[in-house]
Amino acid sequence: MRWLLLIVVTGIAAVVGVTVGWQWVFAPLLGAALLRWSIASLRALVHDARDLEEMEAAPDPVSSDERTLFWCEECGTEVLLLVRGAPRAPSHCGQRMHERTEILN
Ligand SMILES: [Zn+2]
């Protein structure tokens, strides 16, 4: 069914292109391609903005009675994060650091 439609549309386009001029065939195709590209770009922008809003809207709260340390298994480095930007652990020595939560008295 789709091939039949494509063959019919191609035939009509060839007839129009030969008789009236090829600009009447390619201009609408170019317009449709530009419209599809523009809509896809706007969709990607909206989608990225939504992701950014979700990341900014839900910062990981750092409670005052506990603190989270990250330690590197490879070299023993410990890191105390005061503000946590991303939910995943930071990297050190080429691997993810391990999380350890200490409860303060
Ligand atoms: Zn390390």
Residues 59-98: tens digit of each pLDDT: 555 566 778 899 999 999 999 888 777 788 889 999 999 9
Q: Which structural domain range is residue 13 located in?
A: 2-57
Q: Which residues are close to ligand 1, an ion, with C-beta < 5 A?
A: 72, 74-75, 77, 92-93
Q: Compute the distance from residue 66 Cα to the ligand 1 centre, in Å.
A: 24
Q: Taking the CA of residue 84 as centre, how many other CA atoms within 13 Å lie in the half-sphere pointing to its CB?
A: 19
**How do beta strands 95-96 and 78-80 pair?**
unpaired
Q: How far apart are CA 16 and CA 10, in angstroms?
A: 10
Average pLDDT over residues 4-26: 92
Q: Which of 5-14, 19-28, 53-62, 69-78 is least confident?
A: 53-62
- Separation of CA 31 from chain center: 26
d(CA 39, CA 19): 33
Q: What are phi and psi of 79, to 5 degrees?
A: -130, 130
pTM above 0.75, yes or no: no
Same domain for 86 and 46? no
What's the gap in Å between 77 CA and the centre of ligand 1?
6
Query: Are 9 and 50 in the same domain?
Result: yes
CATH code of residue 87: 2.20.28
